Structure 1
Amino acid sequence: MSEFEYLGLKSGIWQGVIHRDAQPGRLVLVHMGSRVAEARLAAEAPGRWRVAAAIPAERLSEGAQSFLLLEDGGAEGEPPRPGARRLASLTLVAGEILDGDLHAELSLMRSELELLKKELRRLAAEPA
């Protein structure tokens, strides 16, 4: 079982629970290699730490956007330290650009399926 339990995204706040005995270190939200926010952490019960990270609206755009939740021992406001531990990732997908991506992917899958069917027919037709 993963240490991070995903609780969802609502009103731009990504929430989850970390299951561990000791309090986690600083939690940093990273997008495209840059620190964009720090997550809030609150003790919920013994061994359960509630995490809430606000997704900055200016980081949302068309296409796929990936956010990482990292844990390190850094100070507030500084970039993630080397060796920061990845706890979770969140991928958001939006916009019209996706229609083209999905159609292209579907077309590629159809082409590969046709090649596979052709090869299976050839193998089935060969004498034993």
Structure 2
Amino acid sequence: MSEFESLGLKSGIWQGILRRETPPGRLLLVHMGSPVAEALATAEPEGGWRVAAAIPPELLSDGVQSFLLVEDRGAAAEPLQAGAHSLGSLTLIAGALLDDDLLAEMTLMRAELELLKKELRRLAAAIG
């Protein structure tokens, strides 16, 4: 079980709960291998840490965008440190191009299903 539980995205802020007793190190939001924002962690009264990371609006565009929440032991202005580990991921999908991608995928699935049905009928006729 992961120690980070995502609470979702609302108003451009990705939130979650980090379930551990010790405070986290530096938390970074990473997009395409580069840190794009620092996440804030605040202690929860019932234990654990509430994590909030603002998704930079300039990174939102058509297609699929993936963001990672990464913890390392670096200082605020330092680059991502070696030994950093991922706590969670967020994938955003948007845009009109996605409709074409999904339509193409559905068409391919239908074609594969028709092929499978044809082969099953051929097998049933050969056995029966």
Query: Which residue does the alignment assign to 2:76?
Result: 76
> What code does the residue aligned with 2:107 have?
S
Residue number in structure 1 paired with 2:105: 105
CA contact (8 A) 1:22 1:47 kept: no
SS in 1 for 2:37: strand
Shift of 1:79: 2.4
Structure 2 partner of 1:86: 86
Within 5 Å, give how 1:1-128 maps onto structure 2.
1-45=1-45, 47-127=47-127
Specify every segment of 5 or more residues in structure 2 that has no aligned partner in the other structure, as ranges. none
The one-letter code matched in structure 2 to 1:51 is V
The SS at the match of 2:68 is strand
Equivalent pairs: percent with the same residue? Answer: 69
Deviation of the 1:46 alpha carbon: 5.2
SS of residue matched to 2:127: coil
CA offsets, 1:43-92, max 9 Å, x none? Answer: 11353100000000000000110000001111112222222111000011
Structure 2 Cα separation of the partners of residues 95 and 127 of structure 1: 49
TM-score of the superposition, structure 1-length normalised? 0.94
| Paired AA for residue 121 in structure 1 | R
| Gapped regions of structure 1 (runs ≥ 5) | none
**Superposition RMSD on alpha carbons, in Å?**
1.3
Give the TM-score taking structure 2 as reference length.
0.94
SS at match of 2:74: coil
Q: Distance in 2 between matches of 1:27 and 1:57?
A: 19
Aligned length: 128
Instruction: Flag as ranges the 4+ runs of structure 1 deviating above 3 A.
Output: none
CA distance in structure 2 between the partners assigned to 1:114 and 1:98 by the alignment: 24
Question: What code does the residue aligned with 1:40 have?
Answer: L
Aligned counterparts of 2:127 and 2:6: Cα–Cα separation in 1: 54
